[in-house]
Amino acid sequence: MKSKSSIIGWAQPLLIGIVLAVLIRSFIVVPIVVEGASMNTTLLNHDRMIVNKMDKPERFDIIVFHATEKEDYIKRVIGLPGDRIEYKNDKLYINGKPYDEPYLENQKQMVMGALTPDFTLEDTPVRQRTVPEGELFVMGDNRRYSKDSRQIGSVPIDKVVGTTNIVYWPVNEMKILKN
Task: Dump pLDDT digits (tens) for 7-24.
Answer: 666 776 666 666 656 555
pLDDT at residue 151 in the model: 95
SS3 assignment, position 85: strand
pLDDT at residue 77 in the model: 98
- The values of phi and psi at residue 165, to 5°, are -150, 10
Q: Is 75 noted as a catalytic residue in this protein?
A: yes
Q: Is 38 noted as a catalytic residue in this protein?
A: yes
pLDDT at residue 122 in the model: 96
Task: Dump pLDDT digits (tens) for 79-101.
Answer: 999 999 999 999 999 999 999 99
Among residues 38, 146, 149, 154, the one annotated as catalytic is 38
- DSSP label of 122: G
Among residues 26, 75, 108, 146, the one annotated as catalytic is 75
Angle of CA points 164, 168, 172, to nearest 5°: 135
Q: Which domains does the chain have, with CATH numbers?
A: 30-176 (2.10.109.10)
The letter for the amino acid at 22 is V
